[in-house]
């Protein structure tokens, strides 16, 4: 199926689209072919973006909350109207199946609608004081924000940061991934067409280290919001520390899944397999470490392997595709190295385990009996690989779930209500799904603990992350 790449890639600064001096190729991961070139911002471009964001903040923070809401609601409407174009660009640039791409676009529109209304609920407090005195607590926008987003959910994650920051009254400089410039530009186009004033939001691409250093060093930027890997998160935190800038860090995970012998195993597998291979496993909360109680372990592995072997993989634009390619040429190399290491250390290759096709494809894979010393048991694979190991007791399962320094998401399947309550309390993660993988929504906080970062996006907590608290006392 041949589909035209439909995007004129430019930077967006102070309400205007502009070309860049230097260009970088954009690849279709299903074929490895170049489909476009993305402009890279210079230091001068970034300085203009910073100046525009500074001016835009003064304008936007003073605007009426209903006016802000109207822009965000209109952007949501335009995103929905343009779903097919945005989703197609997303699939061409990132590789995920078109049905998943449409779902991501729909979720992005929902974020703008949610924060359009949540911005009206940034309430403060009136404190009890003697007659004639007043003490109030108010929330105000933190200031211009630098947001950095990854390539796995480029539309949704950019929308999550933009919607909350704009609803709070902040201006934003958004730096999406260079791998997916067309679909992310389409979100900025929707905001501009919705009437967002010039300077309130900018869109820049560029050499990541140069852009992050330049923006974070500027006194204009008051807040840094980043979604990505733990090493890069640590690096950006160090940069932000020099200016004592507030940060939100949504970093990597290595989600454990505890499967107890009292669960409905077939129903559990009906949820587990699609969730594991969603977006080719390139999901920060992807279920990865499957700890299965001994009595059902062999049946779990056998059935999971059978389903994995027939999971349809191909171009994301093909109607029957359930899993597309990995997003870039680096990922198959990384996955292959992890799988080879696990097998060399004694793991059993139950399904998959090889590349195929002309693009960045790797077969859905299941590794069984994986020893703790295997790299994949300790490093987030961020790909279509599930690893399984048996456990005997609940205490052992919880110990394994909490063994790593990550704490983003965790899941458990059991029909024992008391056990479910204990697991919810004792598993160390920012989000826990009990008999479900539905842990992300516009109205719920999303974030981790330990090395998986801190701060939340989504829900009222996501709005609060872009606001500061001020106490005003009058006698």
Query: Residue 354, by phi and psi: left (phi above 0), alpha (psi -120 to 50) or beta?
Result: beta
Residue with token string 């947001």:
147
- The residue whose two tokens read 């992050």 is 212
The one catalytic residue in 93, 250, 394, 428 is: 250
Three-class DSSP category at 14? coil
Cα–Cα distance, 350 to 209 (Å, whole number):
40
The tokens for 462 are 């996501």
Q: Which long-range contacts (CB under 8 A, 24 or more apart) does 392-401 make?
A: 392/293, 392/294, 394/260, 394/419, 394/422, 397/258, 397/260, 397/291, 397/293, 398/258, 398/423, 398/426, 398/427, 400/256, 400/289, 400/291, 401/256, 401/258, 401/289, 401/291, 401/427, 401/428, 401/429
Specify the 3-state DSSP secondary structure of 415: coil
Using alpha carbons only, what angle is made at residue 408 by residues 276 and 243, rounded to the nearest 5 degrees?
135
Is 104 annotated in the active site? Answer: no
SS3 356: strand
| Nearest CA among 64, 197, 196 for reference residue 119 | 64
H-type helices in 119-255, by residue range?
154-168, 181-193, 208-217, 230-241
Instruction: Identify the active-site residue in 179, 183, 284, 380.
Output: 284
284 is catalytic: yes
Residues assigned a catalytic role: 250, 284
């Amino acid at each position: 199926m041949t589909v035209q790449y439909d995007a004129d890639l430019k930077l967006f600064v102070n309400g205007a689209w502009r070309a860049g001096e230097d260009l970088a190729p954009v690849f279709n991961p299903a074929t490895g072919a170049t489909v476009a070139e993305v402009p890279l911002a210079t230091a001068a471009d970034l300085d203009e973006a910073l100046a525009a964001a500074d001016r835009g903040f003064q304008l936007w923070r003073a605007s009426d909350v209903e006016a802000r809401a109207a822009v965000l609601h209109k952007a949501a409407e335009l995103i929905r109207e343009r779903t097919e174009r945005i989703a197609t660009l997303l699939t061409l640039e990132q590789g995920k199946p078109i049905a998943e791409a449409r779902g991501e676009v729909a979720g992005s529109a929902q974020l703008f609608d949610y924060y359009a209304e949540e911005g009206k609920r940034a309430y403060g407090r009136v404190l009890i004081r003697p007659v004639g005195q007043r003490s109030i607590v108010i929330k105000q926008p933190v200031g211009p924000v630098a947001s950095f987003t990854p390539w796995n959910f480029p539309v949704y994650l950019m929308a999550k940061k933009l919607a909350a920051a704009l609803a709070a009254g902040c201006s934003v400089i958004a730096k999406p991934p260079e791998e997916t410039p067309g679909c992310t530009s389409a979100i900025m186009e929707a905001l501009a067409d919705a009437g967002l004033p010039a300077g309130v939001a900018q869109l820049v691409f560029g050499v990541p280290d140069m852009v992050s250093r330049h923006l974070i060093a500027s006194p204009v930027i008051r807040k840094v919001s980043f979604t990505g890997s733990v090493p890069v998160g640590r690096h950006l935190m160090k940069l932000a520390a020099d200016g004592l800038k507030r940060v939100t860090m949504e970093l990597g995970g290595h989600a454990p899944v505890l499967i107890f012998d009292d669960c409905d195993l077939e129903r559990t597998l009906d949820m587990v397999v699609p969730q594991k291979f969603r977006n080719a496993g390139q999901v920060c909360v992807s279920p990865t470490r499957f700890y299965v109680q001994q009595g059902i372990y062999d049946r779990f592995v056998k059935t999971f392997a059978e389903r994995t072997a027939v999971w349809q993989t191909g171009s994301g634009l093909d109607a029957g595709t359930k899993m597309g390619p990995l997003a870039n040429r680096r990922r198959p190399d990384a996955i292959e190295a992890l799988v080879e290491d696990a097998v060399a250390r004694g793991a059993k290759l139950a399904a998959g385990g090889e590349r195929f096709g002309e693009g960045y494809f790797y077969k859905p894979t299941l590794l069984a009996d994986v020893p703790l010393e295997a790299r994949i048991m300790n490093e987030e694979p961020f790909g279509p690989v599930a690893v399984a190991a048996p456990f005997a007791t609940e205490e052992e399962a919880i110990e394994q779930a909490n063994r790593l320094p990550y704490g983003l998401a965790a899941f458990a399947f059991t029909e024992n209500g008391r056990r479910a309550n204990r697991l919810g309390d004792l598993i160390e993660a920012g989000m826990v799904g009990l008999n479900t993988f539905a842990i992300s929504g516009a109205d719920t906080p999303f974030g981790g603990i330990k090395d998986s970062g801190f701060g939340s996006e989504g829900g009222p907590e996501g709005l609060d992350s872009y606001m500061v608290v001020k106490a005003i006392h009058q006698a």
